Amino acid sequence: MKVPVYLVGAGPGDPDLLTVKAARLLAIADVVVHDNLVDPAVLALIPDRAELIDVGKRPGRPTPQDVINALLVHLGSAGDGRTIVRLKGGDPFVFGRGGEEARALVAAGIAVEIVPGISSAIAAPAAAGVPVTHRGLSAAFTVVTGHREQGRQPVDWEALAKVGGTIVVLMGVAQRGEIARRLIAGGLAADTPVCAIERGTCDAQRVVRTVLGSLEQTAVVSPATIVIGAVAAHDVLSAVVAPSTSELSTSL
């Protein structure tokens, strides 16, 4: 029986939020191909005997996706029985290009197993006490990338402003000013609450609260999850700023 290549979600950062299956695979891994955004505390769970290959995309030192695909195919086709783990921050299929990597492996005749992870799109707001949906405040949420490669179809922020509910932006720190301007142009009020969660769920987590019109001038450090909408004004873990009973009286 062929050993598959495992595409594993590393979760939002806190190693305690790994799935049981992800933790088990890391414990027996022989090779781990990992992203830059995987928290060091998660990498520390990997045994010393395992080979770690960093393919993280960094400013000025990108790793082309086709190079990563070729590396995974090379490792997976060796047929030496080693356990190969492709470790990706959050969930492999949420802006992680896991689908591209799975396709490349399958096309090469290599078995693949997907191990979903907890996405920071939900986990980071939750760690800050911000529910992405909440009775009386938001009946839906949209997860969108703030970064698009040159030549790719841009996000229609003006249209997104009209959808309603909560907007969760991943990889949007550098473009936050443009995002805010276009959402306001699409009809969102400049005083729409915004909450940015830096390094959500990690020991270094930092929560920044502002409004849409001030987002560009507000210092936010990447990686951060940006939450836009009524829920962003609240912290359900704090009685001081939690919404009142009357605010919550409307059913979804």
Query: Backbone phi, then psi, for 30, in 5-degree steps?
Result: -100, -35
Classify burial at 72, counting beta carbons within 10 Å of its beta carbon; exposed 0-12, middle 13-18, buried 19 or more: buried
Q: Note whether 40 and 125 are same-domain residues.
A: no
Average pLDDT over residues 64-91: 95
pLDDT value at residue 107? 97
pLDDT value at residue 60? 59
Residue 67's pLDDT band, with cuts at 50, 70 and 90, is very high
Q: Which of 48-52, 77-81, 112-116, 219-223 has the lowest mean pLDDT?
A: 77-81
d(CA 207, CA 49): 37
Average pLDDT over residues 128-141: 95
pLDDT value at residue 150? 62
Q: Note whether 47 and 152 are same-domain residues.
A: no
Residue 239's pLDDT band, with cuts at 50, 70 and 90, is low
Q: Note whether 79 and 144 are same-domain residues.
A: no
CATH of the domain at 27: 3.40.1010.10
pLDDT value at residue 151? 57
Query: CA nearest 170: which of 152, 140, 196, 203?
Result: 196
CATH of the domain at 195: 3.30.950.10
Q: Note whether 125 and 244 are same-domain residues.
A: yes
Reported as half-sphere exposure (CB side, CA atoms, 13 A), residue 235 has a value of 13
Q: Note whether 29 and 78 are same-domain residues.
A: yes
Last residue of a domain, one of 115, 136, 151: 115
Report helix, strand or coil for 174: coil
Q: DSSP strand E in 2-145: where?
A: 5-9, 31-34, 51-54, 84-88, 112-115, 141-145
Question: Please, are residues 213 and 148 in contact by the beta-carbon 8 Å criterion?
Answer: no
d(CA 93, CA 87): 12
Tell me what percent of the residues of the chain surpass a pLDDT of 90: 85
The tokens of 70 are what? 């070729």
What pLDDT, in 10s, does the model give residues 214-237? 999 999 999 999 999 999 999 998
Q: Which of 88-92, 128-132, 245-249 has the lowest mean pLDDT?
A: 245-249
Q: Note whether 124 and 66 are same-domain residues.
A: no
Cis check for the bond before 62: say yes or no (omega within 30 of 0): no
Other CB atoms within a 10 A radius of the CB of residue 95 amount to 20
What pLDDT, in 10s, does the model give residues 152-211? 778 999 999 999 999 999 999 999 999 999 999 999 999 999 999 999 999 999 999 999
Average pLDDT, the chain: 91
- Check whether 248 has a pLDDT greater than 60: no
Residue 244's pLDDT band, with cuts at 50, 70 and 90, is very low
Active site residues: 35, 57, 171
Q: Note whether 242 and 126 are same-domain residues.
A: yes
Q: Note whether 86 and 161 are same-domain residues.
A: no
- Check whether 238 has a pLDDT greater than 90: no
Residue 245's pLDDT band, with cuts at 50, 70 and 90, is very low
pLDDT value at residue 149? 66
Expressed as residue numbers, the domain containing 155 is 120-248
Number of domains in the chain: 2
d(CA 85, CA 16): 19
Query: CA nearest 148: which of 221, 95, 223?
Result: 95
SS3 content of the chain, % helix, strand, coil (to 5): 30, 20, 50
Other CB atoms within a 10 A radius of the CB of residue 114 amount to 16
pLDDT value at residue 240? 45
- Check whether 241 has a pLDDT greater than 70: no
d(CA 72, CA 63): 13
- Check whether 246 has a pLDDT greater than 80: no
